[in-house]
Structure 1
Amino acid sequence: MEKAQQLEILKQLIAIPSVNDHEADVADYLVTLFAPYRDQVTIERVTYAPGRDNLVITVGQGNKTLGLAGHMDVVAPGDLAQWDTDPFKATLKDGRLYGRGACDMKSGLAAIVVALLEMLEHQTLPGRLRLLATVGEETGEYGAAQLTEAGYADHLDGLVIAEPSADLSEVGYTAKGVIDYILTAKGKGAHASRPQLGINALDHVLEFANQAKARLAALDQTDPVLGPLTHVISVIEGGEQINSVPAQATLKGNIRTIPAHPNQQVYDILDGLVAELNQRPGYNLNLTYSFPEEPMPGNADAPLLRLIDQVHQEVFATPLTPVGQSGASDGSEFLHAKGDFSIALIGPGGSTSHASNEYVELAVYYQAIEFYQRLAQKFFD
């Protein structure tokens, strides 16, 4: 495939405004690319919601399976005045391709797709490869969760996710988990001059906040790569006006967990705290969680990671650095699949994820295509 064709595939993907939705349009386009090879591929669409289809494409044969994953959604472009170009019209400038998703992560998805197409075209498929193209990664990894529950990632022999990784100079192999929680409190309104007639809901969420911070701070184990568990209270809302006792209040927080202190340990602490406080007179607290993700353990010396380092040395002049990641990815869901396999996150794209004027270095995009092909060949060797 000529570079012009490789580039066109990425440009077409960026032109599809799959902002937290419309991933089925991306899937439609990808299916057309594999249509000439229908007798050699298995194409499955797994619908999450109308207009939101995950896509699973399996090529090649053999007893081993290498998974290659990427998400099809992007975040909103934000303030268009901050963009120098149309975010959904890929624009070339000074060796870079600009557009929403150019970095995170349509360049990674495109590089995997092109690598598979080229192996099909040249009949050089080394074994069984499975593309897992997901919906909803940016808002909760629920496409990856759906595919995992349906068994599409079961018993893989390795999984590579094409998340941007400092232009493929880093490989992520472990990651923190995420817990977003929402605490609501119901009290009783009263005039501020007669507070004894009311129940201050805001006082109750502040009591929870103080105790939660102290109890989670007691989880003092630190991961050598990821660092400690962190807890940020990010939103507090309550009350109607300055001279009234707040009858209701809300507190929101974000926790980043580590393998030594997994999510369940945090749930037990916070749920237990709510149960204790609700035994007090007047307390009426309710705690919910949104899109929690488990921490992703990993081993920098795993065979897949060693192989990635070996292939990286062949393609790139700079060394590869194994890293941990503080943000969640589809890997946090795929790790629940059956079987024992390593997950690695490595793909084109630098530091412009979610930013205005998002871009990918074209040279790195082309190198990523070569990298994924070589990795597939050596994985089965």
Structure 2
Amino acid sequence: MFKSFKGLPDLPYAVAPIEQAQYQSAIVELVQELIRRPSVTPVDAGCSELLAERLEAVGFATEYFNKAEVTNLWAKRGESLEQPSVVFSGHTDVVPPGQNARWDTEPFVPTIKDGMIFGRGASDMKGSLAAMIVAVEAFVKRHPKHKGSIGFMLTSDEEGDAVDGTKHIVSSLQQRGEVIDYAIVGEPTTEKRLGDSIRIGRRGSINGKITIRGKQGHVGYPEQLSNPIHNSSKLIHKLATKRWDMPSRYFPSTSFQLVKVHSGSGAMNVTPASLEMLFNFRYSPRNSFEKITGYVEKKAKKYGLDAEFSWEHEAEPYITRRGKLRKTVQKVIQQESQIKTKLTTGGGISDGRYIKQLATQVIELGPCNKTIHQANECVSISELNRLCHMYYRLLEELLVKVVDKN
């Protein structure tokens, strides 16, 4: 049995990290229980039910917005999201362990060694979920009549297609007219030291596929064929070397990456009839889906390619400008870790792109990302302990100090 929030001492209203053994024990036990549940996308494996029970015990109303095979939990404390509203967001699903990955431990058997918890999802992002839950339990115990409201938005569809998860929750809440002031996403953002880097936005993402048709023929008769591999070389070089835009303060330049090329007849003396290329653009707000796709198609035509295009606009770029949440996160990190955090939009894409449609401000803050999606994924116990205290401090800064000033 897990220790409930009732058995935990009050967190001190101070800048020192949490040191109480009882809190650390509660976090560690919850992380281990979550890791034991093999919640490979889109399977939730009972993680949301476990977390819902914990939240219900401290006054949260819970409901599910499940879609297809995806489990989506929405929890809130109070009849409505009174302002200011603070919502924690995360995902219960994990990537597969990998068929040939060399794990030193069983991926879904949590193992503690040298102050680290090993297991799939330890850092991405079941550790963050445990830290959030324990932080909220402690906060509600100490401040049962806090101002505003607290919410949780959890899904089992972040590591996969991410179309039936947070996107669906946000759409459902928008139909109700819900508004969120501050959203805190628990993605692993730390590079070396907890809080050294936070995400204040993300780049846009475009997936593309080009099928270039040629004329199959014998390699000994080049005058009788049209090799689509050779024909594509100018376009590939242009897209890979082009400076798409200039970097800005928080966004790097737009980049192009070729991820898969497929062609061939299976015989060494026959050229292929067609070539298929899959690629991705990560783009900044200085560019757009229309500009990028238009440019690619225009260049293909200029180079005389017989080409067919397929596009997927996976995400638009967004950024959280300087405001209450961003300043508060920076302040708490400075006080807790004595470092100045780096504001970035790097890495992949996250569910923040959907939450931004509903929330005024979105910040991502979580543990170290060094081992995510790898064999022997792990997270530091002391880091989770301090992360929990950061989440707790954020709640006090956003929902208690406001009361004091009034």
- TM-score with structure 1 setting the length: 0.87
Cα deviation, residue 199, structure 1: 4.3
SS of the residue corresponding to residue 46 of structure 2 reads: helix
Partner of 1:185: 212
Q: Determine which of 120, 135, 151 is the counterpart of 2:173.
A: 151
Query: 1:80: Cα distance to partner?
Result: 6.2
Between the aligned residues of both structures, percent identity stands at: 23
Match of 2:236 among 192, 206, 209: 209
SS in 2 for 1:49: coil
Letter of the structure 2 residue corresponding to residue 21 of structure 1:
P
Bigger drift between 349-358 and 318-327 goes to: 318-327
Does the alignment pair 1:250 with 2:276? Answer: yes
Indicate which of 235, 256, 259 corresponds to 2:285. 259
Which digits, 9 at most, give the CA deviation of each residue in 1:120-166, with x for residues without a partner? 44525442111111233223433222223333595311211111122
Whole-angstrom distance in 2 between the partners of 1:87 and 1:80: 12
Aligned position for 1:77: 97
Q: Deviations for 1:208-260, whole angstroms, at most 9, x for unmatched residues?
A: 4244446xx25232223332111122322212122113112111212211111
- Which residue of the other structure, out of 55, 76, 99, is the alignment partner of 1:34? 55
Tell whether 2:249 aligns with 1:231.
no
Q: Distance in 1 between matches of 2:277 and 2:264?
A: 12
Q: Name the SS of the counterpart of 2:28 in structure 1.
A: helix
Match for 1:220: what amino acid? D
Change beyond 3 A, Cα 1:81–1:171? closer
Which of residues 164, 173, 179 is equivalent to 2:188? 164
Query: 1:117 is matched by which residue type in structure 2?
Result: E
Q: Distance in 2 between matches of 1:322 and 1:127?
A: 27
Gaps of 5+ in 1: none
| Structure 1 partner of 2:12 | none
Contact 1:67–1:160 at 8 Å: present in 2 too? yes
SS of 1:151 mapped into structure 2:
helix
**C-alpha separation in 2, matches of 1:22 and 1:58:** 23
Q: Which of 282, 293, 308 is the matching residue for 1:286?
A: 308
Over 3 Å counting, the alpha-carbon distance change for 1:113 and 1:263 in structure 2 is farther
Change (3 A) 1:204 1:139: farther
Question: Counterpart of 1:342 in 2: which secondary structure?
Answer: strand
Deviation at 1:338, TM superposition (A): 4.4
Amino acid at match of 1:257: Y
Answer whether contact 1:148 1:154 (CA < 8 A) is retained.
no
- Aligned 1:95-114 pairs, distance under 5 A: 95-114=115-134
- The one of 45, 52, 62 equivalent to 2:64 is 45
1:212–1:273 CA contact under 8 A, matched in 2: no
8 Å Cα contact 1:182-1:251 kept in structure 2: yes
Closer, same or farther: CA 221–350 of 1 in aligned 2, 3 Å: closer
Give, as a single letter, the amino acid of the residue that structure 1 aligns with 2:279.
G
> Matches of 1:211 and 1:319 in 2, distance apart?
39
User: What is the CA distance between 1:117 and its match in structure 2?
Assistant: 2.8
Q: 1:263 to 1:25 in 2, by over 3 A?
A: farther
1:359 equivalent to 2:381? Answer no
Q: CA contact under 8 A between 1:213 and 1:231: conserved in structure 2?
A: yes
Evaluate the alpha carbon distance shift between residue 312 and residue 100 of structure 1 in structure 2; reply closer, same or farther with a 3 A threshold.
same
CA distance in 2, matches of 1:298, 1:144: 18
In the other structure, the counterpart of 1:136 is: 157
How many residues align? The count is: 369
Tell me the distance in 1 between the aligned counterparts of 2:395 and 2:269: 67
Between the aligned partners of 1:265 and 1:79, the Cα distance in structure 2 is 40
Shift of 1:361: 1.0
Displacement of 1:291 in angstroms is 6.1
Distance in 1 between the 2:288 and 2:375 partners?
34
**Aligned partners of 1:201 and 1:247 also within 8 Å:** yes
The corresponding residue for 1:303 is 324
Q: Compared with structure 1, are the counterparts of its residues 259 and 205 closer, same or farther at alpha carbon in structure 2 (3 Å cutoff)?
A: same
AA partner of residue 49 (structure 1): A
Distance in 1, matches of 2:64 and 2:45, equals 9
Q: Distance in 2 between matches of 1:348 and 1:121?
A: 25
1:48 match: secondary structure? coil
Shift in Å, 1:118: 3.0
Aligned partner letter, 2:271? V
What TM-score do you get using the length of structure 2 for normalisation?
A: 0.82
1:207 deviation in Å? 4.5
Instruction: Say if 1:237 and 1:112 are closer, same or farther in 2 by CA, change over 3 A.
Output: same
The amino acid that maps onto 2:184 is: V
- Cα offset, 1:15, TM superposition: 1.1
> Out of 104, 110, 117, which is 2:137 matched to?
117
Change (3 A) 1:80 1:28: farther
Measure, in 2, the Cα distance between the counterparts of 1:19 and 1:192: 46
Secondary structure, in 3 states, of the residue corresponding to 1:150?
helix
CA distance in 2, matches of 1:20, 1:42: 25
Q: Report the AA paired with residue 53 of structure 1.
A: T
CA distance in 2, matches of 1:148, 1:195: 56
The amino acid of 1:295's aligned partner reads P
SS at structure 1 position matched to 2:245: coil
Partner of 2:75: 57
Counterpart residue number, 2:347: 326
Secondary structure at the counterpart of residue 374 of structure 1? helix
Kept after mapping to 2: 8 A contact 1:183/1:205: no
